[in-house]
Amino acid sequence: MRRGYTVVELTLVLAIIALLLGIALPRIAPLRDGWIAEQAAQSVILAHGRARVAAILLSRPLVLTVAPDSLRIATLTDSVVWRAPGPAAEGASLAGPVRKLTFSPVGLSMGLSNATFQITRGAAIRTVVVSRLGRVRIQRGF
């Protein structure tokens, strides 16, 4: 008697695996989209906090620029203090124009610093709301 599996048995096992993957994969995609949108929103929040603390520690006004492809902290004379990839690097999209937030040496935002950043990936939407006093929150959609 020989050991092993027949072609029919292997084909049946592969068909069952393909059927299970066909059921599971469409349900995993929205979860992945939500996770990526959440990570992109968290990176915007962390950049906001980093700019605020850097303005306090360096005792000078700093500008946080939030663009789809980059997050950047620079001085008023445009010398870069910190840079990171934006939401597009994580596969998410940032709606609206490029926003610049200016932080004073005491850590408060100056000028028109209330901002809303809408980050989307698939059906997942995360909205980062920033107040002038430095409060930041994420609103989750779908």
Is residue 100 included in any domain, yes or no?
yes
Mean pLDDT of the residues in the chain: 91
Is residue 115 included in any domain, yes or no?
yes
pLDDT tens, position by position, 67-120: 999 999 999 998 999 999 999 998 999 998 999 999 999 988 887 778 899 999
* Residue range 29-38: mean pLDDT, rounded: 92
Is residue 38 included in any domain, yes or no?
yes
pTM for this one?
0.81
Is residue 1 included in any domain, yes or no?
no
Task: Assign residue 71 the CATH number of its domain.
Answer: 3.55.40.10
Strands 70-75 and 80-85: antiparallel
Q: Which residue has the higher pLDDT, 1 or 20?
A: 20
Q: Does the pLDDT value for residue 142 go beyond 70?
A: no
* Residue range 38-49: mean pLDDT, rounded: 95
Number of structural domains in the chain: 1
Is residue 39 included in any domain, yes or no?
yes
Q: Give the DSSP H or E segment for 48.
A: helix 7-58
